[in-house]
Structures are given as C-alpha cells and as structure tokens.
Amino acid sequence: MAQRGRRRARAAAPSIKPRRVENRVLDSLIGLRVSSEHQKAMDWKAKQLGLKTAQDWIREYMKDAIEQAVQEKQAAESQLPLLTA
C-alpha cells in the first residue's frame, strides 16, 4: 500500500541544549494560577518596569520577602539541634 502524504521529519539526535524551564519554576513553587487577563496585565506591568516577564516582576517584587523567609528558615534550622538536646 502506498503511503499518503509526507512523513513527519524525525530528529536525528536529541537536542544538546537543555530546554528552558526557569519560567515555570516560580509557577510550580508558589502555585500561581491567574486568568489570561491578569497574565496580560502582569506582563504589561513588567514591560513598563523594564523587565522581560511577569515572573521577573514577581521575583523582583517579592525579593525582600523571599530573603526574609530564607533567613527565618536558616535560623529555625540552626535552633533545631538545641531544642532536641
């Protein structure tokens, strides 16, 4: 039986360059789910501030709170051995 149409081209080898997933990391980290209208508004705001993406804007906006959380976690972990002794 004759084949119809063109076959889909196959990749000879997998891509060496890793795929960029950093833009999805924050979404999975904080579980941020927004409507498309909100996403467009956040992208617009990021562009107004000279940032590339809404995620960059969120990172910049939350930087101090994230650093504080890291310090609190480290302090709590350093106190943990003292409490169990």
pLDDT at 30: 60
DSSP string across the chain: ----SPPPPPPSS--SSPPP-HHHHHHHHHT----HHHHHHHHHHHHHTT-SSHHHHHHHHHHHHHHHHHHHHHHHHHHHHHHH-
**Which ranges of the chain have pLDDT less than 50?**
none
**% of the chain residues with pLDDT over 90:** 19
pLDDT at 20: 57
pLDDT at 5: 64
- List the chain domain ranges: 22-80
